[in-house]
Amino acid sequence: MSGIQLWAIPAFLLALTVHEFSHAMVAERFGDPTARMMGRVTLNPIPHIDPFGTIILPGLLIIMKAPFVFGWAKPVPVNPFNLRNPKRDMIWISLAGPGANLVFAFACGTVLRTVLPFAQGGPVVQFLAWAIIISLVLAAFNLIPVPPLDGSGILKGLLPDSMQEGYAKYERFGFVVLLALFTIGQPIISFFVFPFVGIFSWLFTGKSMLLIFRLAGMAI
């Protein structure tokens, strides 16, 4: 594994930690202490780590020089019965993760704008580039309205009550739909994810997505 690829690991871990911390913090703000009681309202990455989804799978993808890094953290537990307005609050809790990834990408993009004129390469630039890419991919991917992704929670909260029962039946097949998207529906994912990453990487850094990929050391 090259030094450049190594910088994807802390960037990935930080992006996941920010994502899950934000879910936990917003859930607590709306009245549910479940995440707090389980130690999830923290920026310490350890409580958020899923051994396979956070370590083994992303590590294998990086070692194999896969064209993408994919994984997940332990989902933040939310008890809707503790929320003051469950339907409305779940929308904001679901939005918190992708929103936090956008904020993190913006912060990294701001720092990258500052340091890039003085360091065209090096570990700082490589880490920031990876952090921007991974954060934007996480935000975009989680906004897809397929259970158990955050986009599903947002969509469910926006649906009228008359459609809630039908949507609950669809949720049972979420993992099947997600698996199908990864196996035969990759063009569908790419159609949404890549434009999302391209637009926000340019907004946050003033640079094209391809340049950010190159700064991260990815062969394009």
Point out the residues that are catalytic. Answer: 20
Give, for 14, the enclosing helix (H) or strand (E).
Answer: helix 8-29
- Of 179, 185, 127, which Cα lies nearest the Cα of 148? 179
DSSP 53: I
CB 88 within 8 A of CB 157: yes
Distance of CA 211 to the CA centre of its chain: 21
Structure tokens at 28: 């607590």
Burial 136-170 (b: 16+ CB within 10 A, else e): bbbbbbbbbbbbebbbbbbbbbeeeeeeeeeeeeb
Structure tokens at 76: 């933040």
Tokens 């871990």, located at residue: 13
